């Protein structure tokens, strides 16, 4: 069953390590490839909703947002530069190369030698936004033959409505209700052996449930 990770020292060490890796990745993108990028924590890590299923590893999700490059349409080049820069930052810490998946760069399992032994990993999604503040994710569609692989920007799901609801809930001091809902929803799908509801979908459901019940808040 899922439960919240409560070891604050471990969470702080994990965020500091991953943040340092991302900071170096952005530095290498700029120095080696003249690509400007920023990063930020997203998902459960950014919302104080980090959960763990028994002793299984946990994940931290980051957006690597490209804010300056010569050609935004050269998606293959951007993905390769990001991959190489990320690997450079990982290798400096004696961590292995990342895995290049369809929509993210994923590290292997990481753990601290001393203290909490919980394993964790990083998922880095490469994104950009247009003048209308619409986000796009860089997709690497694999074909089995590298030469024929496709790279392109795909519009990300809109979350402005959920952000407004979450902001309202926090303003009213009811965020703990979202935490309770989120944990219940994650465990409900786990009991049902339902793997079609990722954490982001569970979060949306939790926020909507709490917001829609706002008239009954005490």
What pLDDT is stored for residue 10 in this prediction? 96
pTM listed for this prediction? 0.91
Report helix, strand or coil for 5.
coil
Which residues face 68 on adjacent strands?
Answer: 36
- Token code pair at residue 71: 């050609």
What pLDDT is stored for residue 165 in this prediction? 95
- pLDDT per position as a tens digit, 13-71: 999 999 999 999 999 999 999 999 999 999 899 998 999 998 899 999 999 999 999 99
| Residue 126 phi, psi (nearest 5) | -90, 125
Residue 158 has pLDDT above 80, yes or no: no
What pLDDT is stored for residue 122 in this prediction? 97
Pairwise CA distance, residues 117 & 111, whole Å: 6
Q: Select the more confidently predicted residue: 132 or 3.
A: 3
Sign of the Cα pseudo-torsion (14, 120, 196, 193, in order): negative
- pLDDT per position as a tens digit, 121-143: 999 999 999 988 899 999 999 99
Residue 35 is classified by DSSP as: -
Go through the domains of the chain in sequence order and give each one's CATH number.
2-155 (3.30.460.90), 160-216 (no CATH)
| Cβ-contact 138, 126 below 8 angstroms | yes
Pairwise CA distance, residues 202 & 51, whole Å: 12
Average of per-residue pLDDT values in the chain: 94
What pLDDT is stored for residue 33 in this prediction? 98
Which residues face 65 on adjacent strands?
Answer: 38, 127
| Cβ-contact 169, 178 below 8 angstroms | yes
pLDDT band at 105 (very low <50, low <70, confident <90, very high): very high
């Amino acid at each position: 069953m899922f439960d919240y990770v409560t070891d604050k020292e471990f969470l702080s060490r994990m965020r500091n390590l991953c943040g340092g890796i991302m900071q170096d990745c952005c530095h290498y993108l700029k120095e080696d490839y003249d690509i400007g990028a920023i990063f930020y924590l997203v998902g459960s890590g950014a919302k104080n909703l980090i959960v763990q299923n028994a002793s299984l590893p946990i994940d931290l999700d980051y957006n690597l947002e490209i804010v300056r490059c010569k050609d935004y349409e050269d998606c293959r080049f951007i993905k390769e530069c990001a991959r190489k820069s990320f690997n450079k930052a990982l290798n400096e810490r004696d961590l292995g190369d990342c895995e290049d998946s369809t929509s993210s760069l994923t590290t292997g399992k990481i753990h601290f030698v001393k203290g909490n032994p919980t394993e964790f990993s990083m998922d880095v999604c490469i994104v950009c936004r247009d003048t209308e503040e619409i986000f796009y994710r860089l997709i690497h569609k694999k074909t089995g033959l590298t030469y024929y692989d496709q790279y392109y920007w795909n519009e990300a799901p809109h979350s402005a409505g959920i952000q407004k609801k979450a902001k309202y809930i926090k303003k009213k001091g009811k965020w703990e209700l979202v935490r309770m809902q989120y944990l219940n929803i994650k465990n409900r799908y786990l009991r049902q052996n339902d793997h079609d509801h990722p954490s982001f979908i569970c979060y949306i459901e939790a926020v909507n449930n709490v917001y829609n019940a706002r008239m009954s808040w005490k």
